[in-house]
């Protein structure tokens, strides 16, 4: 690259501050997780409105099954949008994914009930979730690549904002859920009020698209675009980097599983612990605050000591303590105990979550970073995330053991521990 070209690239990047880079990268991720949290939080009401049956448990399973099935399309979105980001740049891919996400949210907002249009209602909800899932498929890899490439000296801190934004989204969702469940009757929520949080989420879309269109491309992506060297990230991933994809799936297994378990807490509190509707939302609100405060500090600290040196102890604590946490909730089903358990779930998760984005980015070279992270992330989220609420419900119903959801988290923790050991030994990452 010539000195004049370098000067032009530097000048083009000057206006963007770290705050603007982080905001542009995280806004879509925040909307994605806001919608995920809202759907999970209000699954009981969504089941009654769009998936009514004579058996409330079956209705809930259908609603959560739709939630889970939508994650199956995420790997396809990862391949399409992730490779688009590696070929055409981070900016256009991120703008497209956010636009599609807004379309999916709008469909949920305006979808008539089953009583109004019959079977078209659940089909419409499934289509909306599939659109959101496809869009979300390319979001994580492209957004994380944008941040770590713009801020290479603070990769851990920058990437941690992916997960801090998720905490912000969950916190906002829990706040709205708490407000609605404490001020309105269950009949009012089921009738119309459950749509309010989705309408609120739509406000993020236009602002996010504007921000993303006015942020500079990353240095690595811009250099590749100007070099005219052919880049085939999907082919490279499939032929040479399958093991790297498997390792990224393993890295995120435990934290993704635990995250979706936390979003499942409102349903668990209502259906299993028989607590008031507001209890689960209040507990999730506490968890969101912990994630919001601790995640960026964990990411910042990981820049000094290394990502895996923080992630391995956090995963170990989750592995050992998750069953006792569920046992305490079942034995003492009170709001105070629920708050305490969710607090520690969120604390362990934040310590693992903060460094994870930088660790995943370091696994892949820049040429395939967005695609590799997107594919690994979304396969992992599909297995250990989207199906977690459904698996938790099925485990309880099939075993009769109210502590059964912890078994799934234990399995995920073991997968992550093995993956981190391999990354440490074979790739030399710390």
Render 317-370 in DSSP notation, one character per residue: HHHHHHHHHHHHHHHS-SHHHHHHHHHHHHHHHHHHHHHHHHHHHHHS-GGGHH
The per-residue pLDDT of the chain, averaged, comes to 86
Percent of the residues in the chain that have a pLDDT greater than 70, as a whole number: 95
Domain residue ranges of the chain, discontinuous segments joined by +: 14-427
Using a 10 angstrom Cβ sphere, with 0-12 exposed, 13-18 middle and 19 or more buried, the burial of residue 246 is: middle
Q: CA-CA-CA-CA torsion for 158, 160, 164, 167, nearest 10 degrees?
A: 160
C-alpha distance from residue 315 to each of 86, 230, 306, 348, 395 (Å): 31, 40, 15, 8, 22
Over residues 102-124, the pLDDT tens digits come to 999 999 999 999 999 999 999 99
Please tell me the distance from the alpha carbon of residue 228 to that of residue 249, in angstroms, as a whole number: 31
DSSP code for 307: S
pLDDT value, residue 228: 66
**Tokens matching residue 117:** 């249009």
Over residues 356-397, the pLDDT tens digits come to 988 998 898 878 888 898 888 888 888 888 788 888 888 888
Q: In 3-state terms, what secondary structure has residue 71?
A: helix
Using a 10 angstrom Cβ sphere, with 0-12 exposed, 13-18 middle and 19 or more buried, the burial of residue 219 is: middle
**Tokens matching residue 31:** 């909307």
Looking at domain 14-427, its CATH class is mainly alpha
Query: Residue 274, by phi and psi: left (phi above 0), alpha (psi -120 to 50) or beta?
Result: left
pLDDT band at 1 (very low <50, low <70, confident <90, very high): very low
List the one residue out of 408, 426, 420 whose CA is nearest residue 264. Answer: 408
Question: Count of alpha carbons within 13 Å of 316, Cβ hemisphere only?
Answer: 8
pLDDT value, residue 231: 67
Over residues 59-70, the pLDDT tens digits come to 988 998 888 888
- pLDDT of residue 7 exceeding 60, the answer is no
Is the Cβ–Cβ distance between 295 and 167 less than 8 Å?
yes
Over residues 251-293, the pLDDT tens digits come to 999 988 988 888 788 778 888 888 887 887 788 788 888 988 9
List the one residue out of 73, 82, 70 whose CA is nearest residue 35. Answer: 70
Over residues 82-103, the pLDDT tens digits come to 888 888 888 888 889 988 999 9
**Tokens matching residue 144:** 């994380």
- pLDDT of residue 419 exceeding 80, the answer is yes
pLDDT value, residue 230: 59
Over residues 160-208, the pLDDT tens digits come to 888 788 778 877 887 888 889 889 988 899 899 999 999 888 887 787 8
Tell me which residue has tokens 């603070």: 154
* H or E stretch at 408: helix 405-422
Percent of the residues in the chain that have a pLDDT greater than 90, as a whole number: 31
**Tokens matching residue 229:** 């060297």
pLDDT value, residue 13: 45
Tell me which residue has tokens 């005219």: 228
Over residues 304-308, the mean pLDDT reads 91
The distance of Cα 362 from the centroid of its chain, to the nearest Å, equals: 19
Q: Where are the alpha helices (DSSP H) in 55-191?
A: 56-69, 74-88, 90-110, 114-117, 120-137, 139-150, 155-183, 186-191
């Amino acid at each position: 690259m010539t000195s004049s070209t370098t000067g032009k690239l530097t000048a083009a990047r000057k206006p963007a501050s770290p705050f603007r880079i982080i905001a542009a990268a995280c806004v879509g991720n925040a909307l994605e997780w806001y919608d995920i949290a809202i759907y999970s939080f209000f699954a009981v009401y969504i089941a009654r409105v769009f998936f009514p049956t004579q058996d409330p448990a079956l209705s809930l399973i259908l609603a959560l099954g739709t939630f889970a099935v939508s994650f199956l399309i995420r790997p396809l979105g990862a391949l399409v949008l992730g490779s688009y980001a590696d070929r055409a740049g981070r900016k256009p891919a991120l703008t497209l994914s956010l636009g599609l996400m807004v379309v999916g949210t709008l469909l949920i907002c305006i979808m008539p009930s089953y009583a109004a249009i019959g079977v078209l209602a659940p089909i419409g909800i499934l289509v909306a979730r599939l659109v959101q899932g496809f869009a979300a498929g390319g979001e994580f890899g492209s957004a994380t690549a944008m941040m770590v490439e713009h801020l290479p000296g603070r990769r851990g801190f920058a990437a941690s904002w992916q997960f801090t934004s998720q905490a912000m989204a969950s916190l906002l969702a829990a706040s709205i859920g708490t407000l609605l469940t404490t001020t309105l009757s269950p009949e009012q929520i089921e009738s119309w009020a459950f749509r309010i949080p989705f309408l609120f989420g739509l406000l993020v879309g236009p602002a996010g698209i504007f921000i993303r269109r006015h942020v500079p491309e990353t240095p690595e992506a811009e250099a590749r675009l100007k070099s005219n060297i052919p880049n085939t990230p999907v082919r490279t991933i499939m032929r040479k980097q399958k093991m790297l994809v498997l390792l990224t799936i393993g890295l995120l297994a435990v934290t993704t599983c635990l995250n979706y378990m936390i979003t499942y807490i409102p349903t668990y509190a209502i259906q299993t612990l028989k607590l008031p509707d507001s209890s689960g939302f209040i507990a999730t609100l506490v968890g969101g605050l912990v994630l919001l405060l601790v995640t960026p500090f964990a990411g910042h600290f990981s820049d000094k000591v290394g990502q895996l040196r923080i992630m391995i102890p956090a995963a170990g604590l989750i592995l050992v303590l998750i069953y006792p946490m569920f046992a305490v909730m079942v034995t003492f089903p009170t709001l105070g105990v629920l708050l305490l358990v969710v607090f520690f779930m969120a604390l362990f998760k934040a310590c693992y979550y903060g460094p994870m984005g930088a660790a995943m980015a370091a696994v892949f070279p820049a040429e395939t970073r967005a695609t590799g992270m997107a594919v690994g992330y979304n396969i992992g989220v599909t297995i250990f995330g989207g199906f977690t609420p459904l698996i938790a419900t099925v485990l309880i119903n099939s075993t009769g053991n109210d502590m059964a959801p912890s078994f799934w988290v234990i399995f995920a923790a073991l997968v992550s521990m093995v993956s981190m050991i391999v990354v440490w030994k074979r790739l030399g990452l710390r």
